[in-house]
Structure 1
């Protein structure tokens, strides 16, 4: 019973995070802020910025499709989100130089750590 409650609490918290993230994108944040961070920390060329912007635009469109498609199915939404980030990471890495890839690995680790910390917070809603 406790395991089910913890799983449910995690699912609710994760979906809440995803919805807040998507909402932030709608307000010009989210992926836009992520691209700005990548530009700054990886010293991207204009060509790389264009390619990564296309990757992120495509991911945002897919997130919107998934939000409609998986409405009410938290597990499916979480799975789709994880898969989307895996795809984003692979596509971005294909655009980067060897040195940039090393820095990007650190950015990914920080993002994953923030997610772990966020998941550990009690649900305040």
Structure 2
């Protein structure tokens, strides 16, 4: 009985680990969800999606480099993150139409508000 329960628990554990791994690969640690939001809210064309995906993929690689480089240095990491988002925003804006840029400004403001709330700072 114990052996069957233990085997079943291991099976469930490995299944959850696999699902988590697949989900994290799909979303790119947050950037994938961001792209989905942009697709929906900005009505991106397929060409825009491809361009923005490349921007976010590059940003993801840089984030991984920064995590290694600034490990333990919170201030430097925050500065690198701010700079990375400034670059992402400029590159994305270059892909958008005028109408999309207006909507994107609102998305950026909301993102900045959430960041302030997360850090515990008043807006």
Give the TM-score, by structure 1 length: 0.74
SS of equivalent residue, structure 2 residue 26:
coil
Hey, what's the Cα distance between the residues in 2 that align with 1:60 and 1:26? 12
Hey, what's the Cα distance between the residues in 2 that align with 1:59 and 1:77? 14
Q: How many residues align?
A: 97
Query: In the alignment, what sits opposite 1:105?
Result: 105
Q: Identify the structure with bigger relative contact order (alpha carbons < 8 Å, sequence gap 6+).
A: 1
Runs of 4+ in 1 over 4 A off after TM superposition: none
By how many angstroms is 1:27 displaced?
5.0
SS of equivalent residue, structure 1 residue 38:
helix
Hey, what's the Cα distance between the residues in 2 that align with 1:84 and 1:36? 19
Query: In the alignment, what sits opposite 1:65?
Result: 65
1:38-91 residue CA offsets vs partner (Å, 9 max, x unmatched): 000000000000000000000000000000011111111110000000000000
- Could you say which structure has the larger radius of gyration? 2
By how many angstroms is 1:119 displaced?
1.0
SS of equivalent residue, structure 2 residue 94:
helix
State whether structure 2 residue 47 is matched by structure 1 residue 47. Answer: yes
- Pick from 23, 26, 29 the counterpart of residue 28 of structure 1: 26
Gaps of 5+ in 2: 1-22
Query: In the alignment, what sits opposite 1:114?
Result: 114
By how many angstroms is 1:120 displaced?
1.1
State whether structure 2 residue 78 is matched by structure 1 residue 78. Answer: yes
Gaps of 5+ in 1: 1-24
